[in-house]
Amino acid sequence: MTRVLYIGGTGEISLACVEQAIAAGHQVSVFNRGNHTALLPEAVEVISGDLGDESSYLNLAKRKFDVVCQFLMFNPDAMQRDIEVFANQCEQYIFISSASAYEKPCRDPIITEATPLANPYWSYARKKAACEALLAKANASGKLATTIVRPSHTYRTRLPGTVIDGDHQTWRILQGKPVIVHGDGQSLWTLTHSADFARAFVQLCGNPKALGETFHITDSRAHTWDLIVQLTADILGREANILHVSTDNLVRYNADWSGPLRGDKSNSVVFDNAHIDATVGGWQCEIPLREGLRLASVHVSKRLSSGYKPDPVIDALVDKILAGL
């Protein structure tokens, strides 16, 4: 039985991984603030704590785990602390990085794990890359055996949004309001359901072939943003009123959109998953996009029917941008 610690464990990606780990017979513990423990399978041990609480976090160093899965790491200073905490305390440390760290724009239309990490537009992506560099050094020195996993857009309870978040975009579609799609709507985007991600991820835990390796785990199929929005609207029983706005124009209205757009969504992303497929002995996504979006829409509809209201400032900005077309 593999003893696995999940730091996180109830998020959009990690909950599916915890569920899959239990199904695979792993002995699972989670470390988080304990706000959503009702979502977890009964067999999971919950260790309540906060990454910002030094004393509770350092208590993890007193425990022995076969695998530590870090889902909540976003900056290199905290990563250095993790390296010190878990050195000699686990056989494998798996860091959830991000496919947004890959170079933007990509020089090759097909992204592999060898694609350079160079995203000048998004500090989030650069911090993930810096965390990876620290882990590579720790792994090379023998201090901590590591595996790096780069998800792309992975979803379970949230529909994909273009410029605004998915709940807000869904609200606008249901209200019959137009929605923005960046550029001409023809850039390719890859969406991966968390259940598909989890089937591959769990097979990396305790897998000696994964030590010192880096993987992205994504669907190999990509779709245009226009199609994604149109399909979402169709599932909701509505028509999508799509209006296209250039990325440069959007960023002029809101500089905070530069990272997610220039550093991610406005680029076509298509992934080669040969590495994960070979390492776990055969894997591919099984949940079609329409079915995945339908499953997510159930969760979104519940949130929206519970009194959801979008950020009025952002909604007014969207209306202002569209009125200027």
Kindly report, residue by residue over 201-244, the tens digit of the pLDDT: 999 999 999 999 999 999 999 999 999 999 999 999 999 999 99
Q: Are residues 90 and 174 in the same domain?
A: no
For residue 175, the domain's CATH number is: 3.90.25
Confirm whether 257 is domain-assigned.
yes
DSSP-derived 3-state class of residue 221: coil
- Whole domain around residue 53: which residue ranges? 3-154+191-217
Confirm whether 276 is domain-assigned.
no
Q: Are residues 135 and 27 in the same domain?
A: yes
Q: Are residues 31 and 75 in the same domain?
A: yes
Q: Are residues 206 and 247 in the same domain?
A: no
For residue 197, the domain's CATH number is: 3.40.50.720
123 alpha carbon, distance to own chain's centre? 16
Q: Are residues 179 and 195 in the same domain?
A: no
pLDDT of 123 strictly over 90: yes
Confirm whether 93 is domain-assigned.
yes
pLDDT of 61 strictly over 90: no
Confirm whether 275 is domain-assigned.
no
Task: Identify the H or E element spanning 247.
Answer: helix 247-253
If one counts the domains in the chain, the total is 2
DSSP strand E in the chain: where?
Answer: 3-7, 27-32, 45-48, 65-70, 90-96, 110-111, 146-151, 153-155, 179-182, 188-189, 191-193, 213-217, 223-224, 242-245, 270-271
Residue 156: what pLDDT?
A: 98
This prediction's pTM: 0.96
Q: How far is 82 from 86, CA to CA, in rounded Å?
A: 6
Helix boundaries (H) for 110-185: 123-140, 166-174
Residues in the chain: 325
**What is the DSSP annotation of 33-86?**
-STTGGGS-TTPEEEE--TT-HHHHHGGGGS-EEEEEE-S--SHHHHHHHHHHH
Residue 156: closest CA among 17, 250, 263: 17
Kindly report, residue by residue over 246-289, the tens digit of the pLDDT: 999 999 999 999 999 999 999 999 999 999 999 999 999 999 99
Q: How far is 125 from 117, CA to CA, in rounded Å?
A: 9
Contact 220, 269 (CB under 8 A): no
